[in-house]
């Protein structure tokens, strides 16, 4: 089984040397610095390595159990979750008035990565509850907040998001779940929802579902969707449990991976529900939860990839096969460790470069979340929200795609041993695969980014980020160490805007040009974004080298940056060609000509 160690040094480097969270927290009014952050991370690391990682493999083998309409988690999961909640970890981001610690996302996101690496399925338990809390904080009435937030934040209750229906999938405008008024406050909810993570389980005493449904006479499509709180067990005004609500789990999904995650089919048979905010505004409210979940999914993809990389690196150092092409390296052994072979090194360095770059992008996203929530400067809040809207699809879509690539490379490093269960890499490959699918597939993220976030803003959201990149490149263009990388990134930054213009022109002639370009555009955007963060990390590493501090770590960071610019950023060359290619080659083939019997 793969062992896992939390990369505290990497996290500390990003938070302090690259993002300067000490200054960041000071601007937001937090009395926090490096000496406060690392003890928090060290404690969650201990919990993740000891309690959570130890039940990852057994949870995958055992899976969840479904009997008589009830779901139970694998052995050891309930106990570990209760320890997590009792230690206060569930309350990290929650508002203090409801029992939370109100700590910034730049602390909670590294924590989420840690849990995802240690045990991706387990890490999902608190994840959606956090998203439910954020949605109720933003849109719920004071009564709903007082009734539900304290126990959700403490971890005594669990939160879900109930969007998908079998016939609708991502097209939520087609949902059929109905909400019929009972009185001024209460509604009867009827319908079936599928793919509900944490829809039923035995880790908590109550589960609070956030459900999309239609009121009588509501407009067609997404404009007629409302959001409701539907508890599994009804609660009294003093928050004590009352009678069970009419919510039942009819089955659990049998999945390729994340087998220990309780993914349920839920039936609402005249369940009591309570309207969140205004009628027919459900999609607007649910996007609060979905965007949080999308960033969380990106972090999950990053975490799984990091666990796989650690396993592959350890194996590649120990496994001996053949001799190095440039001469014997391990004279005391019958063969050399496979890490000396260029192909294995390429796979390992690709993982390292993509994972560390994705971590930097994701933590930067967390810093934008902090500013958008807590800054007192309205202009700064607006700018951060624009940047976050642009980069959320990249964090969700690109990071999970390269996360899958990294787990595949990790498995390949093991050779045939990676394909069997002994080392646990095949589990990580299966678990990683879902990250590109739920909370909106990569194609959905790409359309959201290119269509809504870029073209519908006439490119203004993109310019807000490319300007940041431009300023950083200008500040370092004379650097004798970074100069080549600065020149390459500057060219890509300009090309990013030029390609966007070309896609916009193509779309004026044929709207399918947007859909045809979207995924390639998302991936291009991701590679350029990581180029920026690798340049920032290289600059921070150079400062350490010049000061004679932590030389081995800093030199490794600089060498990995060079690898990224030499061997990964050039992937944009093919993407730049395909994303503006003639749409006809994609759309002209007749639908009945796809078959083998043409």
Encode pLDDT of 419-451 as tens digits: 999 999 999 999 999 999 999 999 999 999 999
pLDDT, position 596: 74
443 versus 27: the higher-pLDDT residue is 443
| CB environment 557-585: b (16+ within 10 A), e (fewer) | bbebbbbbbeebbeebeebbeebbeebee
272: which strand partners?
A: 188
- Per-residue confidence band for 156, with pLDDT thresholds at 50, 70 and 90: very high
* Residue linked to tokens 């990390």: 537
Which of 115-119, 164-168, 226-230, 405-409 is predicted least confidently? 164-168
pLDDT at 117 over 80: yes
Domain boundaries, the chain: 446-585
Strands 247-252 and 178-181 turn out to be unpaired
Q: How far apart are CA 220 and CA 438, in angstroms?
A: 25
pLDDT, position 598: 62
pLDDT at 215 over 80: yes
pLDDT, position 127: 85
Summarize the confidence of residues 567-580 as an average pLDDT.
Answer: 98
Summarize the confidence of residues 521-549 as an average pLDDT.
Answer: 98
| CB environment 511-535: b (16+ within 10 A), e (fewer) | eebbbbbbbbbbbbbbbbbbbbbbb
Summarize the confidence of residues 38-43 as an average pLDDT.
Answer: 95
pLDDT at 560 over 90: yes
Kindly report, residue by residue over 246-262, the tens digit of the pLDDT: 999 999 999 999 999 99
pLDDT, position 586: 96
Strands 206-213 and 226-231 turn out to be antiparallel
- Whether residue 519 contacts residue 446, with contact meaning beta carbons closer than 8 Å, is answered with yes
Summarize the confidence of residues 560-569 as an average pLDDT.
Answer: 98
Kindly report, residue by residue over 380-401, the tens digit of the pLDDT: 999 999 999 999 999 999 999 9
pLDDT at 291 over 90: no
pLDDT, position 534: 98
Summarize the confidence of residues 182-190 as an average pLDDT.
Answer: 95
Q: How far apart are CA 294 and CA 435, in angstroms?
A: 9
Q: How far apart are CA 264 and CA 589, in angstroms?
A: 39
Which of 68-82, 277-291, 400-414 is predicted least confidently? 277-291
CB neighbourhood size of 340 (10 A): 22
Does 439 qualify as catalytic in the annotation? yes
pLDDT, position 128: 86
The catalytically annotated residue of 10, 165, 426, 439 is 439
Summarize the confidence of residues 220-243 as an average pLDDT.
Answer: 95
pTM of this structure: 0.97
Query: Closest Cα partner for 356 from 407, 305, 412?
Result: 305
pLDDT, position 33: 85
Q: How far apart are CA 309 and CA 47, in angstroms?
A: 21
274: which strand partners?
A: 229
- Whether residue 425 contacts residue 312, with contact meaning beta carbons closer than 8 Å, is answered with yes
- Per-residue confidence band for 171, with pLDDT thresholds at 50, 70 and 90: confident
Query: Closest Cα partner for 210 from 273, 270, 153?
Result: 273
């Amino acid at each position: 089984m793969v062992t896992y160690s939390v990369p505290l040094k990497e996290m500390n480097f990003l938070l302090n040397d690259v993002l300067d969270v000490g200054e960041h927290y000071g601007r937001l009014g937090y009395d926090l610095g490096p000496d406060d952050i690392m003890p928090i991370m060290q404690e969650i690391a201990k919990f993740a390595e000891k309690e959570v990682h130890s039940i990852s493999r057994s949870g995958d083998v055992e899976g969840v159990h479904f009997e008589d309409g009830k779901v139970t988690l694998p052995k050891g999961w309930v106990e570990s979750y209760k320890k997590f909640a009792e230690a206060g970890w569930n309350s990290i981001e929650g508002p203090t008035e409801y029992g939370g610690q109100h700590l910034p996302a730049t602390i909670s996101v590294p924590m989420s990565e840690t849990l995802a690496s240690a045990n991706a399925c387990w890490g999902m338990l608190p994840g959606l509850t956090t998203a439910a809390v954020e949605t109720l904080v933003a849109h719920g009435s004071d009564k709903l907040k007082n009734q539900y937030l304290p126990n959700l934040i403490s971890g005594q209750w669990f939160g879900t998001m109930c969007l998908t229906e079998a016939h609708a999938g991502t097209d939520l405008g087609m949902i059929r779940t109905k909400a019929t008024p009972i009185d001024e406050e209460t509604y009867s909810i009827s319908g079936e929802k599928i793919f509900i993570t944490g829809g039923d389980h035995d880790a908590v005493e109550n589960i609070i579902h956030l459900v999309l449904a239609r009121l009588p006479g509501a407009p067609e499509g997404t404009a007629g969707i409302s959001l409701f709180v539907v508890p599994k067990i009804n609660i009294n005004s003093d928050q004590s449990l009352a009678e069970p609500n009419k919510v039942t789990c009819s089955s659990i999904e049998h999945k390729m991976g994340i087998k220990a995650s309780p993914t349920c089919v839920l039936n609402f048979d005249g369940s009591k529900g309570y309207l969140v905010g205004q009628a027919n505004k459900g999609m607007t409210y649910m996007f609060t939860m979905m965007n949080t979940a999308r960033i969380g999914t990106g972090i999950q993809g990053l975490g799984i990839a990091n666990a796989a990389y650690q396993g592959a690196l350890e194996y590649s150092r120990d496994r001996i096969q053949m001799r190095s092409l440039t001469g014997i390296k391990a004279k005391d052994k019958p063969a050399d460790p496979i890490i000396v072979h260029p192909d294995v090194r390429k796979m390992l360095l690709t993982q390292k470069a993509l994972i560390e770059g994705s971590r930097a992008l994701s933590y930067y996203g967390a810093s934008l979340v902090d500013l958008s929530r807590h800054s007192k400067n309205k202009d700064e809040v607006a700018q951060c929200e624009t940047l976050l809207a642009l980069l959320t699809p990249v964090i969700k879509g690109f990071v999970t795609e390269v996360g899958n690539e990294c787990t595949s490379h990790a498995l390949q490093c093991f050779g045939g041993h990676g394909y069997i269960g002994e080392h646990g890499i095949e589990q990580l490959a299966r678990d990683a695969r879902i990250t590109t699918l739920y909370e909106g597939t990569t194609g959905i993220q790409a359309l959201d980014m290119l269509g809504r976030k870029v073209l519908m803003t006439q490119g203004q959201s993109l310019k807000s980020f490319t300007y940041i990149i431009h300023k950083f490149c200008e500040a370092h263009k004379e650097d004798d160490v970074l100069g080549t990388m600065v020149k390459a990134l500057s060219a890509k930054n300009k090309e990013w805007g030029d390609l966007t213009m070309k896609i916009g022109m193509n779309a004026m002639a044929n709207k399918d040009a947007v859909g045809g370009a979207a995924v390639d555009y998302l991936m291009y955007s991701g590679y350029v974004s990581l180029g920026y963060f690798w340049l920032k990390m290289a600059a921070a590493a150079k400062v350490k080298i010049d000061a004679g501090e932590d030389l081995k770590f800093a030199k490794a960071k600089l060498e990995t940056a060079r690898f990224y610019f030499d061997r990964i950023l050039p992937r944009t060359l093919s993407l730049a060609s395909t994303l503006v290619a003639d749409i006809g080659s994609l759309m002209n083939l007749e639908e009945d000509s796809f078959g083998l019997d043409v």
